Amino acid sequence: MSALALHGPTTSMVLERRGDGTLLWRWWGGRLDDETLPALADLRAPASFSLDVDQPLALVPAYGAGWFGPAALRAHRGGRHFAHRFTTQDIDRGTDAITVHLRDEAAGLTLVQRIAVAGDMLTLSATLTNTGDTPLSVDWLASGTLPLPHDCTAIRHFTGRHNAEFVEAVEPMPAQGWTREGRRGLTGHAGPPGLFVEGPGATRHAGRVHAAQLAWSGNHRLLVERDDEGYWVLQMGMALAPGEVSLAPGESLTTPDLLATCSNTGLNGAVQAFHAAIRARAPWPTGGMRPRPVHINSWEGFYFDHDEAALKALATHAADLGVERFVLDDGWFRGRDDDTAALGDWEPDARKYPDGLAPLATHVMDLGMEFGLWVEPEMINPDSDLYRAHPDWVLAVDGVPRITARNQLVLDLGRAAVRDHLFARLDALLTALPIAYLKWDHNRDLAPAAGTDGHAAYVAQVRGVYDLLDRLGTAHPAVEIESCAGGGGRIDAGIAARTHRFWTSDCIDAVSRVSMQRGFLMFMPPEMMGAHVGAAPAHSTGRTQGMAFRAAVALPGHFGVELDPADMAADEAGLLAAGIARYKVLRDRLHSGRVWLGEGPDGLVWQAHGEPDDLILHVTRVAPTTLRRPPPIVLPMLAGAGDVRVALLEIATVPGHPAPDAPLFAAMRGGGVVIGGDALATAGLPMPAMKGESVALFRLTRAS
């Protein structure tokens, strides 16, 4: 067999080159010796009611020429040249990458498919070029096409809405097809465009799992389709609006990257591969990521009611608690007293800040904290000076009402003039003030969304945002940027290459955050997960949880505070200060190494951060127990770890009426106890009694 293969530590992808030059998918899964695979031609006897030329799954399956599964390309010239036949022109073979150059002479186009491997992560992308002499209309271009085995059992994915992100869903493999399409113009509150396809008996910790996510912040399509041979095909790409992409002669369209991995250690293996890939893409300055500083954000403490003296007092209280970064949220700029006006007019409000923002920023820095600022550059209020000057700068469709959301419209970032204006305003702020951090918000979906030529502008909008962020990153490389879109509406691997943190959800209710944050960690590493201690009762749900529990739920992510400390009782302030101190001690371990997620009996959920020789174990109970005594939790990653010292750092819960204790847990609170790693992986870690809404925090290290 004439094969092209890329190998990771535990995985392989293999392409077979047919006699006519066509590249066919032969394997994507666990690592194997590609030399031992028989050729497809020796396996595939003629099948009834089939074409006389065999049509296995190609690297780039073509539409209309004999392959009846999902095509990688749908394009045409005024309805003609819709059927494609690719010939292989060239193959660039590197140690860790394959680039295949294809041509369709009759249709007048070339297509370049790239596949690279880093660790066990494949990165796929494609570029289509119109080599004809008339415009080429493009309806679909997949970033990549991947084969899935016949014995897959389920698709694990996420749904969600504002204030309820990352709702996990598991569905059996489809009899025919499964599609998820995002049409809102941005990623959406379901989380990244991605999925996990489980093999027989797959669990969090064992079994085969294929997983993929698209590095794109706009409209997207994910599909899994079964063929009549019992296998499935996976594709991902931008979901293009009608008429959105028409390539003039010589023009090209390049897809976003598709990140794909196959784990033979269950869901957690795929999660760890995703984390490694996102960390490799992260835009940290020279020297890499520094410890993630503790935030305080002014929003839920003050909303639009800005008072310089009160905000200085907030900063002082925050510094006393151990906060390291102060972020001034919405309401600081000229005419911004509510959400009806002033978006686009990015100058400090002289009524609220007579001497500008410098005195507040100086006060913050004198307290030893960094200064951060909220902006929403992509948006504009009709009641703003910018809109009055440039009403043509917004996304709109002639004859269709300009529908507002949160009283705002969307600026057309596909226009260079708009990007230049926004860069100038943001650059002026970042130059004039000691701003270390921007909270970059985006508080609505795109509708309607046409550019100056009347064509759909969803792709141009995302690429315009990327361009603006890249430009700012070059000009101000030390400034960190948070991606927020009504909370978790723009969390994906595309924006992750340009920002440093995500706001997981506008809902900071700690009980709600438990599942949301676990969903986030399925795709993104914990150091990028904005996790704040909010007020009680929570503003989004009206529920109240104890301070120790709220702080413990926020602990594994990028820790922050979203309340006014002046409103807290002394005992609550003490608990919050202790939670901040705990985070500072543990953050280096929490934000490096691997993450394992798991479920225990009786409603317990857990996550472990680090490596088997030094783990932070975070065990959460939301609802009260139904059992007389708690069962142990099994920790499979500790198999073969040798003797492990287990220290119980705390049980974060409501004070008073302590749960019954036992001698083992008293010893764990002292110098710790030694338990064999194999015992922890099979019999499990004994658990102390825990109330509802509590977190048990352990450190597990190699026993000396």
Positions marked catalytic:
441, 506
Token pair, residue 9, equals 């530590």
| Separation of alpha carbons 74 and 67, rounded Å | 13
Three-state DSSP state, 36: helix
Check if the beta carbon of residue 65 is closer than 8 Å to that of residue 73.
Answer: no
Burial of residue 197 (CB within 10 Å: 0-12, 13-18, 19+) is buried
Beta bridge partners of 123: 116, 259
25, 80, 82, 31: which is closest to 56 by C-alpha?
A: 25
Nearest residue to 500 via CA among 542, 543, 469, 454: 469
Q: How far apart are CA 641 and CA 643, in angstroms?
A: 7
First to last CA, the chain: 52
Q: Which two tokens stand for residue 480?
A: 């960190």
Closest CA to 21 of 58, 74, 66, 62: 58
- Contact indicator for 394, 409 with CB cutoff of 8 Å: yes
Q: What is the rounded CA–CA span in Å between residue 457 and residue 479? A: 29
CA distances from 536 to 275, 540, 542, 562 (A): 32, 10, 8, 11
- Give the residue ranges of DSSP H helices in 323-415: 358-366, 385-389
252 C-beta neighbours (distance < 10 Å), count = 13
What's CA 63's distance to the chain center, in Å? 32
Q: Which of 55, 60, 51, 27 is nearest to 41 (CA)?
A: 55
Place of tokens 């289509």: 128
Amino acid at 266: G
Q: Do residues 225 and 177 touch, judged by C-beta distance below 8 A? A: yes
Q: How far is CA 667 from CA 22, 552, 697, in A?
A: 66, 22, 15
Rounded to whole angstroms, the Cα distance separating 681 from 612 reads 11
Give the 3-state secondary structure of residue 551. helix
Q: Which of 637, 638, 633, 640 is nearest to 619 (CA)?
A: 633
Q: Which residues contact 382 (CB under 8 A, 6 or more apart)?
A: 402, 404, 407, 409
Q: Which amino acid is at 334?
A: R
Q: Which two tokens stand for residue 312?
A: 């200085």
Three-class SS state of 79? coil
Choose among 46, 81, 80, 53: nearest CA to 67. Answer: 53
Contacts (Cβ under 8 Å, ≥6 apart) of 301: 314, 535, 562, 563, 564, 567
Helix (H, G, I), strand (E, B) or coil at 610: strand
Give Cβ neighbours of residue 566 (< 8 Å, ≥ 6 apart). 313, 314, 317
Q: Which residue has the tokens 């490389």?
A: 477
Distance (Å, whole) CA 213 – CA 217: 11
Residue 39 DSSP SS3: coil
Task: Name the β-bridge partners of 435.
Answer: 371
Hey, what are 316's tokens?
A: 């002082």
